[in-house]
Amino acid sequence: MTLVLAGADYYLKDIETIQRTDPARSDYYNWLCAYKVKSTLWIPIRSRSGKIVAILVLHWYASTQWSPSELTKIKDMKREIESIYYTLQKGN
């Protein structure tokens, strides 16, 4: 979460790669297991000023091996979401 709030994307291909010696990481692993999530992608959504206003989270119920080009396609969708957000904010 710290990485995403700092503006970076976070892609976890397989939750089994999480080092569970740290209690916080162990809790995160347990949370993902509770929801049967095996892979996840977190992408920050920004306002026009650059402030992070939301996080787009995608979960898969299987481990994934997205190629860089496939991940780029998914990440490009955030621009559309940000565009919708900008439009909604104009009314305020």
In this structure, is the dihedral angle defined by the CA atoms of residues 13, 16, 22 and 25, taken in order, positive or negative?
positive
User: Phi and psi at residue 15, in whole multiples of 5°?
Assistant: -65, -20
pLDDT in the model for residue 18: 95
Q: What DSSP state is assigned to residue 8? A: -
The answer, yes or no, to whether residue 92 has pLDDT greater than 60, is no
The per-residue DSSP string of 41-90 comes to EEEEEE-TTS-EEEEEEEEESS-----HHHHHHHHHHHHHHHHHHHHHHH
Mean pLDDT of the chain: 90
**pTM score:** 0.82
pLDDT digits (tens, 9 = 90+) for 9-41: 999 999 999 999 999 999 999 999 999 999 999
Give the domain 2-90 fold: Beta-Lactamase (3.30.450)
